[in-house]
Amino acid sequence: MTDRLRLNGHEVEEAFRRLALHMPGRTPNAKGPKDQPGAFRSVVACILSAQSRDANTALAAARLFAIIETPDDLLALPEAQLIGAIRPCGLYNMKARNLRRLAASLIEEHGRVVPRTRAGLMALPGVGRKCADIVLAFTFDEPVIAVDTHVNRVCNRLGLTCQTTAERTAAELEARAPDWVRADGHFWLIQFGKAVCLSQRPRCEACFLSDLCLWLKRQRPSTSRME
């Protein structure tokens, strides 16, 4: 059995080369996981998505954006009405506080303009690395590999990274991924995670990365040690 935790640099390059060959990558209508037009709506939707199913996030976002359009609208919204709108996504009291703080920060510190850098986005209330990278990749079209649940699982199974949290995975992936993969890397990995490297029953028998995958090697005895 293997005790390796990470693929080497050559193997990382080869894994991405195969992903680029087999996965469609960024499509013309790609709108990102939160499917929101504009940076402000994207940030708000990302905050709503924390520990929430996509369908519940979409419902909460639709209800909220039916009654607000700008940070000023959000800050002026009565608390009870704000909580009522976002209730479907859960953790609504905490998220309502973060949304109000976000709106105040955008108005008072950023001239109502969402920052275009990771550091600037992560300085906003309620915004972490995952949310910042999603906004950078899908709203500002920056070459950033955003790490969601699927990407985090795939990277740590294969051995592209070896981390315990999505934020740490994102930092390590940024350091290890070749420059040429950054524009489409998120799409290849998320598509691979949904089509092949499934959460409960990965389709290892149909996987074009099975010979590289460190997780799969740990599941199988190594014939090289059976002598």
- Domains in the chain with CATH codes: 9-27+148-225 (1.10.1670.10), 39-138 (1.10.340.30)
Average pLDDT, the chain: 91
CB 124 within 8 A of CB 116: no
DSSP state of 46: H
Is-catalytic flag, 217?
A: no
pTM of the model: 0.82
Give the list of residues 6+ apart from residue 217 with CB closer than 8 angstroms, or none.
1, 2, 4
Average pLDDT over residues 166-184: 94
Which is the catalytic residue, given 148, 184, 211, 217?
148
pLDDT category, 33, cuts 50, 70, 90? very low
Residue 225, pLDDT score: 42
Least confident of 8-12, 86-90, 137-141: 137-141
Is-catalytic flag, 130?
A: yes
How far, in Å, CA of 41 to CA of 101, rounded?
A: 15
Which is the catalytic residue, given 130, 133, 141, 179?
130
